A and B are shown apart, each in its own frame.
Chain A
Amino acid sequence: MTHIVSRMFDRELKKGSAELLVLSLVEARPRHGYEISKLIEARSNGAVKFNIGSLYPLLYRLERRGWIQGRWVEKAGQRRRRYYRLTAAGKKMLASHRSTWESFVAAINRITEPEQA
């Protein structure tokens, strides 16, 4: 059952919410690609997964649009990693996505509520 549900999520809802997911995760602080994919998986209890093929195209697309900005950071004793942070334009877009998502969810909830007898 979980397997079928997760594939459903993957195909349908991921498409609409992918940008919102990534933008909201880099809102708090800059993160690198692997961290973002692990966070999404962890916080969704495995329901949503992004692999290389789905995560990095999204990151590059968002970066091209100027909503996130990547830069290489070298920490002591580690290889350098590319961290992504939310830009000011990205903040605006995130707020807009959230609002749209909330309106959408509210609308779906209203439709799918059991009818009062």
Chain B
Amino acid sequence: MPEWKHEIRRRLAELKLHPTREAAIVEEVEQHLADYYAEMLAGGATEAEAYRRSLDELQNSEELWRELRREQNSETVIPESTQRRNVIANLWQDVRFGSRMLVKQPGFTLIAVITLALGIGANTAIFSVIYAVLLRPLPYPAADRLVLLTTTGTNSDLPTYVSYPDYVDWRDRTHSFDDTACFVDDVFNVTGIESAVAVDGRRVSSNFFQMLGVKPQVGRLFAPSDDQAGAVPTATISDALWHEKFGGDNAVIGKTITLDGSLFTVIGVLPPGFQLDRHDDVFVPLGLWFVPGHNLLRRDNQSSHALARLKAGVTLKQARAELAVVAAQLEHEYPQTNRGRSASAEKLSDLLVKDVRPVLLVLLTAVGCVLLIACMNVTNLMLVRAAGRETELSVRLALGARTGRIIQQMLTESMLIAALGGLAGLLLGAWAIKSLSRLIPGTLVQLDQVKLNIPVLLFALGISALTGLLFGLLPALRTARTNPNVSLKQGGRAIGRSGWARARKSLLVAEVSLALVLLVGAGLMLRTLQQLTRVNPGFDAANLLTLRFQLPNNVYDNERRLAFFRECRTRLEALPGVRSASFVMSLPLQGASWNVPFMVADRAAPASDAIPHAAFIPISANFFATMAIPLRAGRAFSEAEMNDTPAVTVINESLARRLWPGQNAIGKRLRQGGADSKAAWREVIGVVADVKLDGLEQEAPLQAYLPLALHNSGTVKLVVRTDGEPLALSMSVEQTIHSLDKDLTVETHSMDELLGNAMARQRLTLTLLAILAVLALSLAGIGIYGVMSYAVTECRQELGIRLALGATLRDVLLLVLVQGMKPTLIGIGLGSVAAFAATRLLRGLLYGVAPTDPLTFAGVAVLLSGVALVACWVPARRATKVDPLVALRYE
């Protein structure tokens, strides 16, 4: 076959066309001449004749050169509509081409899609929780203007607990709110239905539901006339209770139910899913309790909550300033109760997520890291693939393919992979969301809102597109920068020295860094949980059963209640397997129920805003023995002292240290209340060890134990020390209680369960972080293995040369291992620096361990190095098996 290119180029030379354009024309015209030549030969012409006639075709090509010259000089613009259509046509072509390439390489496609699916799935699942908790707008009208009014200052308990009279004054004397409502948390014994049940409920002012934009699904909600003392007692119930106990029948309207022994008429059913911060089953009007002298109406009783909506245009700052002014007025008007007490407001949306926001932010960071690692793995795969196509792409570039077109084609391929990965990730995410719902305690997050909804789907779509761009851009740009001259001439590559290898190693470093950050986070949470389990709660939690129930105030007066306590204890302690039983007003880890100021005898009264507060806890005489709380000095209560004559108290060691440091506290006296309190002075007869009343991470508060006769609340807690597994006796204990009053609904837990719940947040964070860390570690390990494996294959020639020149197998092994461990160690170094900064996010969740704990960092570094070593080992072993002769021949 004659060579035409030279002839064609000669004629094109003077036109000085762009090299790629010239190459394309030369190829096309050469092809035409070759076909013409072949046709001549087939028609019977001799080779010389066919050659002559083909050359004639070329001679008569003046018009072609004129046209090309015109093309050089012209500035003809392709119409935009044509350009647009061409773009779409190109895109479709790329999609078809890309799909064919992916199908041709099923192994690569599968690994890439699975890797991405893991990253996208994890992110989708965590985002669904974040959306449900942090991002979803609260389902109440003008929710961003809803606030809770709070008390602040030294003379206040928990901020969101306010006293009703204070609430009324704030409401009446301020102009910042267009609506306010008050509510009190409660627990009701619901009887008069097929099976009695104790439910969470609230006493609410009549405008509570209207403020939250709630409409009943059946019946009606409270009117102002229902919300007064003396009104016919009415109640509204939740959708869940309606279905569970009333079969979802509309006839429930007008039925009466018994709440804590009193009759209430059901007037309405709330819509499904309604809740404010927690799920309540029963609501009753608050005003029913407003008889003169009722506890709730006392200014020193801070047991209500106040909800308010800011007027349009009023800022939180302005409202707070106004509340502070009113609080100052009340301080002046009611110095006994309000001295040292100020008022403020907090956004409802902030308060609702306060506990869980730190956990979610940590998890978001963690899944982000996992996704980045997954992207980097896929980028590495794409780089390997692009390196393998380098020759083909170089030829295309040399023949005139536009760089932009090649980049577009490669990006289309990566977007296809991202789309497949996104789809698989969505399925994985949906499964993960279901599992998450089982893992997360319902107390932390409203679980029915954690689902695959439109925002979550859009998020999955968004990160799929983003990952496609991320992992596709580097290989595409890298390819477009290929210098065809260089790559077409280059033969085998030296290990680790080609531009491709550098890019892959950099990605490795980044992967290892991210994996380290995640592992350190998980490690710190593990240490936290370890520390928490080691915390001495102040008592022996083993074989301890706890029970909670209501003795309704309208059925049990003080006498009857004390009689119940006595009889119940006697019957319980007679049960086989029960060592002792005790009543107490506040269970450990659940917070104190009775926090009040107190005075110390023989000491000048402190300024009213510096009066100390302590948790006062009425108990049975044998409480310390039942709980195995060590006695530090003096003695415990005797049975005779249970009727509070004489007035005595047992205090905890923190209180003793605080009030009488270095002295013997026995015989000293204190009393509840402020400077002019009429309460009796109590003599300290014993000092016991501190008990973690407010939670494992909190310091034990100041505690003073009182005789049981002072237990004035309807809610009763009972602790039972058993011989064996405590829950095994729960049925007989409950039966014993029911033998005294069958209408009581008892909630039973072992103390171990309560301890476990106290660590719920940390345990959840650890579980999820650990899963993500293991995922990150696996992905990083696979990444290292993949890169080193390919590096060994790529550099067979060099390895063969080394072996041929006398390198030992050990030398080759070390060479590969060092090449693999170098980026790992750099990654560990960089990752440690990043982790130093990142672990600050965990600060609120850690206990007993610093965010920069050296033991954790060191341990993780060793673990990562170990995994990297293992990942490099297999390719290193393979390198030692290279046959020098084969490798040297291989091109």
Interface residue ranges, A against B (CB under 8 Å): 32-34, 37, 51-54, 56-57, 60-61, 64-66, 69, 71-72, 79-82, 87-89
Q: With A53-B61, A54-B63, A65-B76 as given contacts, are A33 and B85 in contact (CB-CB < 8 Å)?
A: no
With A66-B86, A69-B89, A87-B82 already in contact, the answer to whether A79 and B76 are too (CB < 8 A) is no
Q: Is B2 at the interface (CB under 8 A from chain A)?
A: no
Q: Are A65 and B32 in contact (CB under 8 A)?
A: no
CB<8 Å pairs between A and B, sample of 25: A33-B31, A34-B36, A52-B33, A52-B58, A52-B60, A52-B61, A52-B64, A53-B61, A53-B64, A56-B67, A57-B63, A60-B67, A64-B78, A66-B82, A66-B86, A69-B86, A71-B93, A87-B82, A87-B85, A87-B86, A87-B89, A88-B82, A89-B81, A89-B82, A89-B85
Residue of A nearest to B399 (CB): A72
Given contacts A34-B36, A52-B60, contact A57 B89 (CB under 8 A): no
8 closest cross-chain pairs (CB), A and B: A57-B67, A66-B82, A53-B61, A34-B35, A53-B63, A66-B78, A89-B82, A53-B60
In the assembled complex, which residues on chain A have CB atoms less than 8 Å from the CB atom of B86?
A: 66, 69, 87
Which B residues lie within 8 Å of A88 (CB)? Answer: 82, 85
- Residue with the highest number of chain B CB atoms closer than 10 Å, among A34, A61, A82, A87: A34
**Which residue of A56, A64, A79, A87 is within 8 Å of B29 (Cβ)?**
A56
Query: Which B residues are CB-close (under 8 A) to A32?
Result: 31
Q: Is the CB of B82 within 8 A of A60?
A: no
- Per the 8 Å Cβ criterion, residues 54-81 of B in contact with A are 57-58, 60-64, 66-68, 71, 74, 76, 78-79, 81
Instruction: Select from chain A the residue with minimum beta-carbon distance to B81.
Output: A89
What are the residues of chain B within 8 A of A66 when measuring CB–CB? 78-79, 82-83, 86
Q: What chain A residues lie within 8 Å of B78 (beta carbons)?
A: 64-66
Determine the chain A residues whose CB is within 8 A of the CB of B71 once the complex forms.
60, 64
Measured CB to CB, the closest approach of chain B to A22, in angstroms, equals 14
Q: How far is the CB of B177 from chain A (nearest CB, A)?
A: 64
* Given contact pairs A33-B28, A33-B32, A34-B32, A51 touches B79 in the complex (Cβ within 8 A): no
A72 to B392, CA, bound (A): 14
Chain B residue at minimal CB-CB distance from A56: B64
**Does B815 count as interface, using CB distance less than 8 angstroms?**
no
Q: Which of B86-111 contact A (CB under 8 A)?
A: 86, 89, 93
Q: How many residues of B are counted as interface, with CB atoms below 8 angstroms from the partner's CB atoms? A: 33
A34 to B85, Cβ gap below 8 A?
A: no
Whether A64 lies near B76 (C-beta < 8 A) is: yes
Query: Bound complex: CA of A70 vs CA of B67, how far in Å?
Result: 17
The one of B31, B67, B83 that contacts A34, using a Cβ cutoff of 8 Å: B31
Chain A: CB-nearest residue to B61: A53
Name which residue of chain B comes closest to A61, CB basis. Answer: B67
Contacts of B29 in A (CB 8 A): 52, 56
B628 to chain A: which residues have CB within 8 Å? Answer: none
Residue B458 at the A interface, CB < 8 A?
no
Q: B193 an interface residue at 8 Å Cβ cutoff?
A: no
Residues of B within 8 A of A65 (CB): 76, 78-79, 82
Contact mask B227-269 → A, CB, 8 Å, 1/0? 0000000000000000000000000000000000000000000
Contact A57–B79 (Cβ < 8 Å):
no
A38 to nearest B CB, angstroms? 8
Residue of B nearest to A35 (CB): B35
Q: Decide: B62 and A60 in contact? CB cutoff 8 A.
A: no
Taking a contact as CB atoms under 8 Å apart, the answer to whether B68 and A60 are in contact is: yes
Are B64 and A57 in touch, CB under 8 angstroms? yes
Complex Cα–Cα for A79 and B62 (A): 27
Q: Which B residue's beta carbon lies closest to that of A66?
A: B82
A64-B71, A87-B85 known; A52-B32 Cβ under 8 A: yes
Cα(A66)–Cα(B93), bound, Å: 17
Chain B residue numbers with a CB within 8 Å of A52 are 29, 32-33, 57-58, 60-61, 64
Q: How many angstroms from the CA of A52 to the CA of B86 in the assembled complex? A: 26
- Judge whether B24 is part of the interface by a CB distance below 8 angstroms: yes
Describe B's contact surface by its main secondary structure.
Answer: helix
Q: Check A57–B24 contact: CB distance below 8 A.
A: no
B35: chain A residues within 8 A (beta carbon):
34
Chain B 24-41 per-residue mask, 1 if CB under 8 angstroms from chain A, else 0:
110111011101100000
Closest to A85 in B: B89
Which positions 468-485 of chain B face chain A at CB distance < 8 Å?
none
Best-surrounded residue of A52, A87, A89 (most CB of chain B within 10 A): A52
Residue in B28, B33, B66 whose CB lies within 8 Å of A82 = B28
Chain B contacts for A80, CB-based, 8 A: 27
The chain B residue with its CB closest to the CB of A71 is B93
Residues of chain A with a CB closer than 8 A to B61's CB: 51-53, 56
Interface centre among A57, A60, A80, A82 (most CB of B within 10 A): A57
Residue of B nearest to A64 (CB): B76
Q: Least Cβ distance of A73 to chain B in Å?
A: 11
Instruction: Determine the distance from Cα of A34 to Cα of B54 in the docked complex, in whole angstroms.
Output: 13
6 more A-B contacts (CB under 8 A) besides A33-B31, A65-B78, A69-B89? A34-B36, A53-B62, A64-B76, A65-B82, A81-B28, A82-B28
Indicate whether A79 sits within 8 Å of B66 (C-beta atoms), given known contacts A51-B57, A69-B86. no
- B residues in contact with A57, CB < 8 Å: 63-64, 66-68
When C-beta atoms are compared, the residue in chain A nearest to B25 turns out to be A56
| Whole-angstrom CA separation of A52 from B63 in the bound complex | 9
Give Cα distance in the complex from A51 to B53, angstroms.
12
In the complex, which residues of chain B have a beta carbon less than 8 angstroms from the beta carbon of A89? 79, 81-82, 85
Contacts of A64 in B (CB 8 A): 71, 74, 76, 78
Q: B24's closest neighbor in chain A, by CB?
A: A82
Rounded to whole Å, the gap between the CB of B40 and the closest CB of chain A is 13
CA separation between A61 and B71, bound complex, in Å?
Answer: 8
| Cα of A117 to Cα of B27 in the assembled complex, Å | 61
Most chain A C-beta atoms within 10 Å of own C-beta, residue among B32, B79, B81 = B32
Provide the bound-state CA to CA distance between A63 and B866, in Å.
61
What residues of chain A lie closer than 8 Å to B62, measured between beta carbons? 53
Q: For the complex, give the distance between the alpha carbons of A81 and B76 in Å.
A: 26
Q: How far is the CA of A88 from the CA of B87 in the complex (A)?
A: 12
Nearest Cβ on chain A to B510's Cβ, whole angstroms: 37
B-chain residues with CB within 8 Å of residue A79 when the two chains form the complex: 31
- What CA separation (Å) do A95 and B71 show in the bound complex? 26
Task: Give the one of A66, A80, A81, A87 with max B CB within 10 A.
Answer: A66
Chain B residues whose C-beta falls within 8 Å of the C-beta of A53 in the assembled complex: 57, 60-64
Q: How far is the CA of A82 from the CA of B82 in the complex (A)?
A: 20
| Distance of A20 Cα from B814 Cα, bound (Å) | 71
In the complex, A88 Cα to B82 Cα: how many Å?
8
Report the minimum CB–CB distance from B5 to chain A (whole Å): 13
Distance from B66 Cβ to chain A, minimum over Cβ atoms (Å): 7
Rounded to whole Å, the gap between the CB of B50 and the closest CB of chain A is 15
Cα A88 to Cα B86 in complex, Å, equals 9
* Min CB gap B24→A, angstroms: 7
User: Which residue of B25, B60, B82 is within 8 Å of A51 (Cβ)?
Assistant: B60
Name the residue in A37, A51, A64, A65 with the highest tally of chain B Cβ atoms < 10 Å from its Cβ: A51
User: CA A59 – CA B735 in complex, angstroms?
Assistant: 98
Task: Give bound CA distance, A20 to B77, whole Å.
Answer: 21
What chain A residues lie within 8 Å of B83 (beta carbons)?
A: 66
Q: State A66–B64 Cα separation when bound (angstroms).
A: 19
Instruction: Please report the C-alpha to C-alpha distance between residue A60 and residue B25 in the assembled complex, in whole angstroms.
Output: 10
Q: Which residues of B759-818 have CB atoms within 8 Å of chain A's CB atoms?
A: none
- Measured CA separation A61–B60 after assembly (Å): 18
Chain B residues closer than 8 Å to A69, beta-carbon distance: 86, 89
How many Å lie between the Cα of A38 and that of B66 in the bound state?
A: 23
Q: How far is the CB of B46 from chain A (nearest CB, A)?
A: 21
| Nearest B residue to A82, CB-CB | B28
Query: Can you name the residue of chain A whose Cβ is closest to the Cβ of B29?
Result: A52
For the complex, give the distance between the alpha carbons of A72 and B397 in Å: 13
Distance A66 CA – B84 CA, assembled complex (angstroms): 11
Q: How far is the CB of A66 from chain B (nearest CB, A)?
A: 3
* Nearest-Cβ distance from residue A34 to partner chain B, whole angstroms: 4
In the complex, what distance in Å separates the CA atom of A66 from the CA atom of B78?
6
Contacts of A34 in B (CB 8 A): 31-32, 35-36
Inter-chain CA distance A52–B4, complex, in Å, is: 13
Q: Which residues, 263 to 310 on B, are CB-close (under 8 Å) to A? A: none
